[in-house]
Amino acid sequence: MPPASPPRPRHLYVHVPFCARRCSYCDFAIAVRRAVPVGEYVQALAAETALRFGGTEEVEPWTLDTLYFGGGTPSRLGGEGLVAATTAVLRHASLAEGAEVTVEANPDDVDPATAAAWVAAGVNRLSLGVQTFSEAALGWMHRSHGADRAAEALVAARAAGLENVSVDLIFALPSGVARSWERDLEAALVLEPSHVSLYGLTVEPHTPLGRWHERGEVVEADEARYEEEFLRAHDELARAGFEHYEVSNFARPGRRSRHNSSYWSGAPYAGLGPSAHEYDGECRRWNVPAYADWVRRLGAGADPVDGEERLTPANREAETVYLGLRTADGLALRPDEGTLVAPWVSAGWATLDGGVIRLTPLGWLRLDALAASLTAHRSR
């Protein structure tokens, strides 16, 4: 009897690389296209899905608890394009009852007809890339939407039945950028989202922002302002009823991102599309980053995997520590680690309950230091 096939991951990420323009801070694997080659992309996605997961009748059916279209800007596929992409994936998989299906979208791509098409395709969660409500800051970021467009997108999404909406915001912008973080938080709460994701701006090389920084035209926000804005967001969102359940993420009760939570729990996940990563519990693999290369390889019947890394027990332990500390669920300590974390508890950076350490917002700002200490301790 042949050996049983390993169980397939119950979480799938699909990378859609297209963007109307590159944001000033972005170093992701994207493809800037005025006209999106929807048919070409869907054909390549179908080929990769069949290559990886076509299998035979003997293979156990592949059931997904979460399906996540990220990017790039998946909403650039439009209504029919996303329906076609979903159909391509679901030829070889099925959605579990109550599965979470997320699509990332720019506000200017969301209109009633498009949102209705997404809902018909099974989408039940929208991640909206708002970033800021300041017209000046949006221009500085090279974003394509205007400050009023987010509210219009929310109205269209909800009219189509998309009630589970997450809003992305960026904090710690350079002081020279005309933006009020307080007003951005207020404007986000007015939209009544079910989830908010916050990202502190970082300067990456080989981006417009990186070049501005090298020339001295932009000065990064200092640590004090980074901390102030992070803590202000925590306070304001907590008062509004949100749970700060991961360093960068806040949710109303029952609205945590199930897909992203699978990453933080160390669960296996599959990945399709250019630059997509996957993890089977022992090995991490990633696809070629360039869209044209991904399409070319699949057109020739070749696997687009570009590399892999087999995690050692030490690697997996380090990830367990780091990911556990990132979430409100915390990390189970070993019996000999109480003394090591005691100063963190005394400083108000962590709480300890039943042998589980949970970082406070102040502690999350110092997460890397504790993760390094615990990892080094466990490696001895």
Which CATH number fits the domain that encloses residue 44?
3.20.20.70
Q: Where are the alpha helices (DSSP H) in the chain?
A: 38-53, 78-89, 112-120, 135-141, 149-159, 181-190, 208-214, 223-239, 258-264, 291-299, 313-326, 338-346, 361-364, 367-378
DSSP 8-state code for residue 318: H
Burial of 209 (0-12, 13-18, 19+ CB in 10 A): buried
Which tokens sit at 260? 């992203």
- Write down the pLDDT at residue 356: 97
Average pLDDT (36-51) is: 97
Rounded (10°) angle between helices 78-89 and 38-53: 10
Report how far residue 265's alpha carbon sits from residue 253's, in angstroms, rounded to the nearest whole number.
Answer: 19
- Per-residue pLDDT tens digits for 101-127: 999 999 999 999 999 999 999 999 999
3-state secondary structure of 97: strand
Longest Cα–Cα distance in the chain: 68
- In this structure, the chain runs to a length of 380
Q: What percent of the chain has pLDDT over 70?
A: 97
Asked if the model's pLDDT at residue 7 lies above 80, the reply is: no
Q: Does 353 share its domain with 243? A: no
Average pLDDT along the chain: 94
Burial of 323 (0-12, 13-18, 19+ CB in 10 A): middle
Which tokens sit at 37? 């080659």
User: Looking at the domain assignment, is residue 5 inside a domain?
Assistant: no
Residue 34: pLDDT band (50, 70, 90) is confident
Average pLDDT (168-194) is: 95
Q: Does 59 share its domain with 143? A: yes
Least confident of 76-80, 99-103, 139-143, 367-371: 139-143
Residue 75: pLDDT band (50, 70, 90) is very high
User: Looking at the domain assignment, is residue 157 inside a domain?
Assistant: yes
User: Looking at the domain assignment, is residue 276 inside a domain?
Assistant: no
Q: Does 68 share its domain with 127? A: yes
HSE of 146 in the Cβ direction (CA atoms, 13 Å)? 3
- Write down the pLDDT at residue 29: 79
Conformational region of residue 375, where left means phi above 0, alpha means psi within -120 to 50, and beta covers everything else: alpha
- Write down the pLDDT at residue 60: 64
Average pLDDT (87-101) is: 96
Residue 206: pLDDT band (50, 70, 90) is confident
Residue 95: pLDDT band (50, 70, 90) is very high
Q: Does 64 share its domain with 210? A: yes
User: Looking at the domain assignment, is residue 271 inside a domain?
Assistant: no
Residue 2: pLDDT band (50, 70, 90) is very low
pTM of this prediction?
0.94
Which tokens sit at 170? 């960026």
Which residues constitute the domain of residue 95?
11-264
Q: Does 325 share its domain with 201? A: no
User: Looking at the domain assignment, is residue 115 inside a domain?
Assistant: yes
- Write down the pLDDT at residue 3: 42
- Write down the pLDDT at residue 54: 81
Pairing of strands 195-200, 243-246: unpaired
Conformational region of residue 340, where left means phi above 0, alpha means psi within -120 to 50, and beta covers everything else: alpha
The larger pLDDT score, comparing residue 24 to residue 156, is at 156
Asked if the model's pLDDT at residue 23 lies above 50, the reply is: yes
Which tokens sit at 151? 């509210």
- Per-residue pLDDT tens digits for 252-268: 999 999 999 999 999 99
Structural domains counted in the chain: 2
Asked if the model's pLDDT at residue 57 lies above 80, the reply is: no
Task: Look at residues 198, 188, 291, 163 and name the one whose alpha carbon lies nearest to residue 240.
Answer: 188
Asked if the model's pLDDT at residue 59 lies above 60, the reply is: no
| Contact of 129 with 104, CB cutoff 8 Å | yes
Q: Does 248 share its domain with 337? A: no
CATH number at residue 340: 1.10.10
- Write down the pLDDT at residue 55: 63
Q: Does 158 share its domain with 225? A: yes
DSSP 8-state code for residue 63: E
Q: Does 201 share its domain with 140? A: yes
Q: Does 110 share its domain with 220? A: yes
Q: Does 219 share its domain with 357? A: no
- Per-residue pLDDT tens digits for 305-346: 999 999 999 999 999 999 999 999 999 999 999 999 999 999
